[in-house]
Each structure stands twice: as structure tokens, then as C-alpha cells.
Amino acid sequence: MMDRLRNDLTALMGIPGLSGHEDRVRRAIADMLTAEGVENHSDRMGNLIASFEGDPDSPSVMLFTHMDQLGFIVRKIEDDGLIRVERMGGVPERALASQAVTICVPGGEDVEGVLYNKSHHATQANEKYRVLKAPDVRIDTGHGSKAAVKAAGVCIGSPVVYRPNVVQLANNRVAGTSVDDRAGCAVLLEVARNLKSRDGGPTVHLVFSVQEEFNLRGAVVTAQTLKPDVAIQIDLMLATDTPEMTDRGEMVLGGGPGMSLYSFHGRGTLNGVIPHPSAVRLFEETAEAEQISLQRSAQVGVLTDLSYVQLVGEGAVSIDVGFPMRYSHSSLEVCDLSDLDGLARLLVAALARIGPDFDLTRDGEPG
């Protein structure tokens, strides 16, 4: 399974898919599902759905992960051909100087560029530690004039992403563009392969969602249609095992999959998730039975689509589970394939344990 995860993740990280422009990623995943004999369809927003009908007396499950990634949108093309952009999603401006980017040209040839960085030899002392805001950054594509840039197919509104890049590190670790959340997509593909040939179990809807990085707009639409009893989101868990992160928690890269006991954004949306105790219990018991080490996360500053999905209909029994990841939203994020492997096995086993007696209430809680 590890080789398959590595191949799927590498392939998916090579495909640009800015929020609202996920079409290439969706087509690739749809093709992979179809090749496995798994039926799938997409909705108006672009979410991709593969449903596995199961026991009608058991709660239905929506297991979802996002296909999109953050980046930029072209705002203006200067007369000299340099391109100005707006941020799309939580782009860390500290990590931008002299990065390579890809400007997507639908139906045409993508345009490569580099993010402007003032020549070091001309940098004054007071500029040395200054970070430019994204709207002040310029992209150099080499074209040299506005007319040439436009002739190459770039226009206002064109999507821009970090240039797709994958670096295979030691110990099954992988650095790549948008590990968040193509790693989740690779894990969901593994789950799909398993569900295809399972014996019994609940109805499961696998959803590859859009526009998560654009303030969580995609998955909630699909949830309104599916009205799941149980909602499980797959996304990164902040690894806290690098020197600047140790105070924040105990999430170790390579230490196994994780579940979130608390997430709160704390700015902007003021949204977050406190998981349902039945869902927490499900993953704790599954991990113990399968002898998979399960890590725990409680973080302010993070949030996922689940913030909105949990509120659909009568409310869904909700939980975030995921894989530890380092350097979130930088052009190279790092995950460990053994965590993805553990996560896929955990999900498959947990889904199989959801039967007619799965408690959707909180009546049995000690409080």
C-alpha cells in the first residue's frame, strides 16, 4: 500500500488546483476512481462524490477531504510584463521570496514564473529582514511586456500556484507542493479501493471537496445533499515536533495518524469543531483493536470544512482525523507515508465498525 500511496500522492501533487479551479485535479481523481471500477459524479460546485450503498439501518457516513490548494489570483499585468497578484487562501508571505510559480492557462500551455525578490547586492540594511506583502510582489515570466504575457494566455483572474514540486526524503518522508490535502486525497483513494470489495457496513459517501482553502465553501454543499449522520474530515494535523512548535502539542511526524479533540480558528470565521464523543470513541477503539498508534491534537489557529458540515440538517456526529504534517502552507510541506498508511487502515477499520447500534445521541455520556 505504501508504494501506491507514494505514487498517487506524487501524481496528485503534480497537478495544479487552486481553489475554485480544481477541474484538473477532479478529472484526475475521477479517472483513477473509474479505473478502479468505482462510480463517481460531481455536483455544481465541483465536489466529486463516490457513494457505496450499505446497510440502511446503520448511520450513513460522509468521509471527505479537499482537492484544492491555496495560491494567488492575477490582479494586474504591468506594462513591463511583471504580474501583480492577490492572495487566495492562507499564503504565508514569509515563504514567498524567489519561489517558482505556475500560472494556469485553461486549454492552453501553463506559464512558468518566479516571484520577485530584490537583488541582494542592492538590499539596504533596513530592508534585510522585511517581508513583502503578496499584493506588492511581482511575478516575472520572462515575457518582458504586457502584450506578450497576454498573448501567452494570462489574464486578470488567472489562477497561480506554487510550481508543483515533489522531493522524496529519507525514511518514507515526502516533501511536496500541497501535501495539504493531496495526501488526504491519496488516502481516500485507498479507502475507495477497499470499500469497493467490502462485505457489509454502512453507506459511505467519499467526497473530494472544492474551495476549502477559500474559507470552507465546498463540502457543506455536498453535505446538504447527502445529509450524513456521521461526518469525518481528513486533513493535516499540525506536527509539533520541530523546535519552534514543541510548545504547541505532542503530534509527531511518523508517529501515526491523529484525531482532533478541539479546533478553533480564533480569527476571521471564529469557527471550529469539538468532536462528538461517539466519534472519538469509535477511533480510539478502532486504533486499539487494530494496534495503530493514534495521536491527539488540540489547536487554536486551524479549522476545516467540518466546521460547517457538522451543522447541516439535524447536525452530524463529527470528527477531524488526519496525518501529521510539517511546514503548513509553505511551497514544500512534509508528511510521512507511514502515517498515511496508518490513516487509511484506521479509516477502513473504523467504517466497518459503524453498525445499527452506533450511538448518534449523547445519552450515554457520563458528562
Contact residues: Zn ion, CB under 5 A: 180-181, 235
Helix (H) or strand (E) run with residue 28 in it: helix 23-35
| Closest to Zn ion by CB, 214 or 262 | 214
CB of 179 to Zn ion, least distance (A): 9
d(CA 287, CA 165): 33
| Closest to Zn ion by CB, 8 or 235 | 235
Q: Which of 22, 190, 212, 333 is catalytic?
A: 212
| Closest to Zn ion by CB, 235 or 341 | 235
| Closest to Zn ion by CB, 58 or 299 | 299
CB of 178 to Zn ion, least distance (A): 9
Strands, E assignment, the chain: 41-42, 48-52, 61-66, 71-77, 83-88, 100-103, 111-115, 138-140, 159-162, 166-168, 173-176, 204-209, 230-238, 258-264, 272-273, 295-300, 317-325, 333-336
d(CA 178, CA 68): 9
CB of 208 to Zn ion, least distance (A): 12
CB of 104 to Zn ion, least distance (A): 20
Has 212 been annotated as catalytic? yes
CB of 322 to Zn ion, least distance (A): 9
Asked if 176 and 9 count as a contact pair (C-beta separation under 8 A), the reply is: yes
| Closest to Zn ion by CB, 181 or 190 | 181
How many H-runs (helices) and E-runs (strands) does the chain carry? 8, 18
Residue with cell 467519499: 206
d(CA 340, CA 2): 8
Residues in the chain: 367
Residues serving a catalytic function are: 212
